[in-house]
Amino acid sequence: MKRKWGDRRDGKLIRDIDSMHCIMPMIFPNRCDNEAFMHLRIDLTKAEEYLAKKNQDEPAYRYNLFQLIVTAVLKTIMLRPLMNRFIKRHKMFQRNDLTAAFTVKKVFADDGGEALARVYAKKSDNIDTIHNEIYRQVSFTRSDKKDASTEGMDFIQKLPFRGAIGRLVRFLDNHGWLPKGLIATDPYHSSVVLTNLGSLKIDAGYHHMTNWGTNSVFCAIGLMKKRPFFDEQGNMEMRMSVDLGMTIDERIADGYYYAKTMRLLKTLLENPELLERPLCEEVDY
């Protein structure tokens, strides 16, 4: 698609925006001042059955809950495109790509290094293709190779006049002029950042956003554990579940849009067979 005046390399300027969403970025220019936090509790009864079925043939790289969540979040954002918007320099943009970013711990130790990973989603993707791409990303990041963003940060770290360099990269970031290599795997230039806190044996909670970059959605994944669920008659049953903490830039849409988006995400995770379908295929929820 041909870029028009005002578009960025990573996003298209929203030109037909309503007056409220036009004025809000002018009044509230910083993303960190506009965080909305939402909590989701997901019943994993069907997800556990689904994963057991997917893994019954003992694949080399097993299907797991993180892959389900990544796929569900990507499908949710594809079907709810306002969630793939971002604000820079008081203007709103529709992101060109749909990407999910996460950090991979190379070794689970205090001094274990970290690497950055990013999944680029296509309309035709589903749980199987996302599973394969995550496997490729994790394998690469746990090798001796460095991702492009880490290499860029290593180079900048060696330069003098860091204060001036910091001001320069923030200026370039605001205008969308940063070198592609520097932000190739930077999570804060993605559609959604995911952090798997459950793998660190801690529960999900609030995670801040940053004014750096263009990221508007952050998903924190907590521990899988049994929790009480109640039916319409008030009967209680203990079921395996996971909590998700969603932090969102509230300027990109309204509360009704967010509520409907969270309902879609919950529907996908509690009915994981829907993730067999292409990301672009609509579902009832």
Higher-scoring residue by pLDDT: 147, 222: 222
Q: Does the structure show a pLDDT above 70 at 109?
A: no
Do strands 99-105 and 91-95 pair parallel, antiparallel, or not at all (unpaired)? unpaired
Are the CB atoms for 187 and 103 separated by under 8 Å? yes
The identity of residue 245, as a single letter, is: G
Cβ burial 67-87 (10 Å sphere, 16+ → b, else e) = bbbbbbbbbbbbbbebbbbbb
Q: What is the mean pLDDT of residues 18-43?
A: 93
Mean per-residue pLDDT over the chain, rounded? 91
Band (pLDDT 50/70/90 cuts) for residue 242 is very high
pLDDT tens track for 140-167: 877 666 656 566 667 667 777 667 888 8
Band (184; pLDDT cuts 50, 70, 90): confident
Choose which CATH entry (3.30.559.10, 2.60.40.10, 3.40.250.10, 3.40.47.10) describes domain 17-142+187-276: 3.30.559.10
Where do the structural domains in the chain lie, given as residue ranges? 17-142+187-276, 148-184
Check residue 72 and give its pLDDT: 98
